[in-house]
Amino acid sequence: MKLFAILMITVGTLVAATPAHAAPVEVRLSAPLGSNAYGQLVIGTPVYTQQVYVEPVVIYAPIEHQRHWHRWCGQYGACGQPVRFIEVRESYGRDYDRRYERRRERRHEHHHHHHHHGHH
């Protein structure tokens, strides 16, 4: 326990003697923390690991943009990033309009049908 107290005083002196503008220094000490207990005392800035895998950005783009991505990536704000493409079908808007129109007609027919039977 005395050794641990001496180490703490030494580390405290090292930290206090470090100028505020100096880059942080990591100090690692292994010392007994008590009877039969050992541990590591880390002082300084923790070291962070760099992220190795980056999730791809999902981009909805026409096939022409996908084929010539280097020309279009700036418009999508995704240059230099991993990208996963989902193709935009040109007929999608027309297909959606037709589905919406059919749904609206069915609702109108259903509503109209109930009025003929006296339901309100």
pLDDT in tens, 59-109: 988 999 999 999 999 999 999 999 999 877 666 556 566 666 777 677 766
Q: What is the pTM of this model?
A: 0.33
Instruction: Work out the average pLDDT over 10-26.
Output: 55
Q: What is the mean pLDDT of residues 5-30?
A: 54
Alpha-carbon gap, residue 107 to 2, rounded angstroms: 85
Give the pLDDT of residue 102: 73
Please tell me whether residues 73 and 27 are part of one structural domain. Answer: no
Tally of domains in the chain: 2
Looking up tokens 């109930």, which residue turns up? Answer: 114
Dist CA 73 CA 66 (whole Å): 9
Residue 109 sits in the same domain as residue 66: yes
Same-domain status, 19 and 68: no
